[in-house]
Structure 1
Amino acid sequence: MNVIGRLYLGTLYAMAGIAGAMLIWLMISVITSVVMRNLGLQPFAWLFTSSEYAILYMTMLGAPWLVREKGHVHIELVTAALPPAARRVVSRSVAAACVGVCALLAWKGGELMLTNIVRNDLDVRAYYFPKWILTAAFPISFGLMAVEFSRFVVGSDLMHSGEAGIHE
């Protein structure tokens, strides 16, 4: 694998690792908040806000890796009933549609992020937080998902295995 490929793969795995760390943070922050409430204390304002941000980032950062690993949800009922040639056409067509949707969402997410920067939009909750930091996840993650889905359009690997049921 060339250097660019290794860097790209390293980026995907780093994003997935950060998403995993955020999942741990969510567990810690929820437990801390519940314990504080049960002790009659007011949880810290930043605790709830950081949990909300973590949910967004966890989802966005982990999604490209999930596409690469075929860990996203898809139903094999139809593709399992198709002959191999038709399965390839359907699988590549679905992957192409996913590329289109992800590319559109990356574009619109980029526009949203640039609008947030130009307007100097702030998320005002516990603290004043620049919104572009939140919306930056959209073009990055949806762009990488478009790249990953495109691997199923033009690569040798298909998104659908053609085997209905649960396979772990």
Structure 2
Amino acid sequence: MRAITRAHDSLTQLSFWGAMLAVVYLTVVTGWEVIGRYVLGSPASWTSDTAAVSFALVTFFAAPMLTWKMGHASMSAVVDALPIGAARWIHRFTMLLGAAACALVAWYAGNESMRLYSRGVMMIAATPIPKWLVMMALTYGMASMALYFFRHLFASSLAAEPTDSENA
């Protein structure tokens, strides 16, 4: 099991590097678009299309890292005010809910990716880009996040339960 979790973590690190490369690409393409439009007077038709795909890659390749490191958005004011035991159970419930929601979205996105691929659907834009590429990024990101939520849930269930003195 440890080898599987290490492989998952390595894939997450690799995809995070992919997200960083997509940010670099966005920066270069945006600069090129500004130069092409205002200096050369000839904007490129492909820049906005590929930038949109790059935004999706940034989002879905970086999200698993945030989930792994517990850097995702969390409104914990109510949970923080609860006794430790109750807070742990609510935390576990939210991990389960996050895992279920991400797994459901990944399942739907995976099915849609296969449908888009089999039909050869392209994004409606000046530059033809296969739509399944973006959907596969969504599928990967959500599936990986679901695994991290499950891993956090499992880890929290292995943690020692609070004692009565901790609940007081």
Report the counterpart of residue 35 of structure 2 in structure 1. Answer: 35
Report the counterpart of residue 90 of structure 1 in structure 2. Answer: 90
SS class of match (1:109): helix
Report the counterpart of residue 19 of structure 2 in structure 1. Answer: 19
2:105 and 2:113 mapped to 1: Cα distance?
12
Q: How does 1:107-146 map to 2 (within 5 A)?
A: 107-146=107-146
> Please, which runs of 5 or more residues in structure 1 have no aligned partner?
159-168
- Is the alpha carbon distance of 1:69 and 1:24 closer, same or farther for their aligned partners in structure 2, counting shifts above 3 Å? same
Identity %: 25
Report the counterpart of residue 166 of structure 1 in structure 2. Answer: none
- Is the alpha carbon distance of 1:69 and 1:56 closer, same or farther for their aligned partners in structure 2, counting shifts above 3 Å? same
Q: Deviations over 1:105-129 (max 9, x none)?
A: 0010011101102222122423322
- Structure 1 segments, 4+ long, off by >6 Å, are none
Report the counterpart of residue 100 of structure 2 in structure 1. Answer: 100
1:88 and 1:51 mapped to 2: Cα distance?
41
Quick check: 2:92–2:156 contact (8 Å CA) kept in 1?
A: no
Report the counterpart of residue 51 of structure 1 in structure 2. Answer: 51
2:3 and 2:72 mapped to 1: Cα distance?
27
Shift of residue 2, structure 1, vs aligned partner: 4.2
Quick check: 1:102–1:143 contact (8 Å CA) kept in 2?
A: yes
Q: When the two structures are aligned, how many residues end up with a matched partner?
A: 158
2:89 and 2:48 mapped to 1: Cα distance?
46
2:10 and 2:153 mapped to 1: Cα distance?
22
Shift of residue 24, structure 1, vs aligned partner: 1.6
Quick check: 1:151–1:157 contact (8 Å CA) kept in 2?
A: no
Query: TM-score when scaled to structure 1?
Result: 0.86
Shift of residue 40, structure 1, vs aligned partner: 4.8
1:31 and 1:144 mapped to 2: Cα distance?
32
Superposed CA RMSD: 1.9
Report the counterpart of residue 154 of structure 2 in structure 1. Answer: 154
Which protein has the larger Cα radius of gyration, Structure 1 or Structure 2? 2
